[in-house]
């Protein structure tokens, strides 16, 4: 049975169910005020009827403030974030992504993006080991590895990062030569700076993790740029000359080795040839000795004729001493054998018939002797 129906009993506001109209709102607020007064130790009878609405308004305000205070404690942590919770200034907890609640004004929540790739750039002039000034820009890529250390240990961790970067960079560059800084050693210097910088940050307890150090092109100061360009040009010329010399060496050494090998092979061939010719000559001499022992006269005559033939074949002039006279007969053999020898023939085909030449010489001598005798007889 409903409370507002006959016989339904008392209504929830504490009023009587005698009438058909709605419950008395003032009476309901009065009863609510009385309950609050009992809770807070007050007495509803000492207050007049006129204080009821004011007390009720205060109660509503208090409820709303309590609800607002509770709502202020709700906060959301994203996937890339972590939050550090401090209760009355003391570390309480580190929370991950999700919806969380902490009592406001009691707990302090600091949210930090831990997985975000952060970047810091720096540029400065510094002195190398060989006392050269160089301007070196670099970029530091880092993220947050320990959010508690990042928030609590150092007041300004990113300022500490910049100062530590400058210190580590100057230490490494001051221990390196100019050539290493501007050319071949930049990667090595970057690794050394990263290692030293991470050591500094760990000692400070910053909670920062250095991912990479990018060292860009180093440049000299503007005041010495002309001299520096001359040095670079000289170094490039040196490298070019070294490369040319190496290329020449790579070309000449194999050629020299090939020439040496060819000379060795030719020497071996000449040795084999000389040995073979000597062996052939010795065998020929032994054979000739055997023939000479059989027929000395014939062999001697044959040797004489062979020698004469060899001499005459290599001579272009013959002088003959006439017996009984003072005249020397000159025979131009080259003119005599010219019609019989072609210019294109080799030296082996230029041999002449000695017997024919001898016959011609004898006939000519006889004719000259006959002419001479006749001239003497006439006289």
Same domain, residue pair 123 and 197:
yes
Residue 259 lies in a domain: no
The pair of structure tokens assigned to 359 is: 């016959």
Question: In the prediction, which pLDDT does 52 show?
Answer: 52
Residue 180 lies in a domain: yes
- The sign of the CA dihedral 166, 167, 169, 170 is positive
Q: What angle do CA 43, 48, 52 make, to 5 degrees?
A: 80
Same domain, residue pair 124 and 188:
yes
Taking the CA atoms of residue 319, residue 323, residue 326 and residue 329 in that order, the dihedral angle to the nearest 10 degrees is -30
Question: In the prediction, which pLDDT does 262 show?
Answer: 92
- How many Å apart are CA 72 and CA 64, to the nearest integer? 12
- How many Å apart are CA 145 and CA 206, to the nearest integer? 9
Q: Do 150 and 208 meet the contact criterion of CB atoms below 8 Å apart?
A: yes
Same domain, residue pair 123 and 211:
yes
Same domain, residue pair 141 and 167:
yes
Residue 30 lies in a domain: no
Question: In the prediction, which pLDDT does 46 show?
Answer: 47
Residue 253 lies in a domain: no
For the chain, residues with pLDDT lower than 70 are 1-26, 28-29, 32-33, 35-56, 315-359, 361-362, 365-366, 368-379
Residue that terminates a domain, selected from 113, 131, 163: 113
Residue 52 lies in a domain: no
Question: In the prediction, which pLDDT does 104 show?
Answer: 80
- How many Å apart are CA 93 and CA 123, to the nearest integer? 39
Same domain, residue pair 135 and 186:
yes
Residue that terminates a domain, selected from 217, 236, 261: 217
Question: In the prediction, which pLDDT does 185 show?
Answer: 74
Neighbours of 36 (CB within 10 A): 15
Q: What angle do CA 96, 99, 103 make, to 5 degrees?
A: 95
Q: Do 70 and 64 meet the contact criterion of CB atoms below 8 Å apart?
A: no
Same domain, residue pair 78 and 104:
yes
Same domain, residue pair 341 and 320:
yes
Residue 324 lies in a domain: yes
Same domain, residue pair 213 and 122:
yes
Q: Domain range spanning residue 329?
A: 307-378
Q: What are the distances in angstroms from CA 165 to CA 149, 182, 190?
A: 19, 19, 11
Please tell me the total count of domains within the chain.
3
Q: Do 91 and 148 meet the contact criterion of CB atoms below 8 Å apart?
A: yes
Work out the widest C-alpha separation in the chain, in whole angstroms: 210
Q: Do 208 and 145 meet the contact criterion of CB atoms below 8 Å apart?
A: yes
- How many Å apart are CA 367 and CA 334, to the nearest integer? 22
């Amino acid at each position: 049975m409903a409370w507002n129906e006959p016989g339904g009993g008392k209504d929830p506001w504490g009023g009587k169910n005698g009438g058909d109209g709605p419950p008395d709102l003032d009476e309901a607020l009065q009863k609510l005020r009385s309950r609050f007064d009992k809770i807070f130790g007050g007495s509803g009878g000492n207050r007049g009827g006129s204080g009821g609405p004011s007390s009720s308004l205060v109660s509503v305000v208090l409820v709303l403030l309590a609800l607002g205070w509770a709502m202020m404690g709700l906060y959301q942590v994203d996937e890339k974030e972590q939050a550090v919770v401090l209760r009355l200034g003391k570390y309480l907890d580190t929370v991950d992504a999700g919806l969380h609640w902490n009592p406001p004004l009691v707990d302090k929540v600091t949210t930090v993006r831990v997985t975000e790739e952060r970047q810091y750039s720096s540029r400065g002039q510094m002195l190398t080991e060989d006392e050269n000034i160089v301007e070196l820009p670099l970029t530091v890529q880092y993220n947050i590895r320990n959010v508690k250390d990042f928030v609590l240990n150092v007041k300004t961790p990113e300022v500490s990062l910049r100062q530590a970067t400058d210190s580590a960079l100057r230490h490494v560059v001051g221990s390196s030569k100019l050539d290493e800084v501007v050319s071949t050693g930049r990667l090595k210097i970057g690794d050394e700076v990263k290692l030293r910088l991470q050591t500094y940050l760990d000692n400070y307890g910053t909670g920062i993790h250095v991912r990479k150090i990018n060292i860009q092109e180093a440049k000299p100061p503007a005041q010495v740029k002309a001299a520096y360009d001359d040095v670079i040009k000289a170094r490039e010329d040196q490298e070019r000359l070294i490369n040319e010399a190496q290329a020449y060496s790579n070309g000449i050494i194999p050629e020299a080795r090939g020439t040496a090998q060819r000379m060795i092979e030719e020497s071996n061939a000449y040795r084999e040839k000389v040995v073979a010719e000597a062996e052939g000559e010795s065998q020929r001499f032994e054979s000739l000795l055997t023939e000479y022992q059989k027929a000395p006269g014939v062999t001697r005559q044959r040797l004489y004729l062979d020698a004469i033939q060899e001499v005459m074949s290599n001579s272009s002039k013959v002088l003959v001493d006439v017996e009984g006279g003072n005249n020397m007969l000159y025979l131009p053999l080259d003119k005599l054998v010219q019609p019989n020898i072609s210019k294109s023939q080799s030296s082996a085909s230029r041999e002449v018939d000695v017997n024919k030449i001898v016959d011609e010489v004898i006939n000519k001598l006889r004719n000259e002797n006959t002419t001479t005798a006749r001239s003497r007889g006439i006289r």
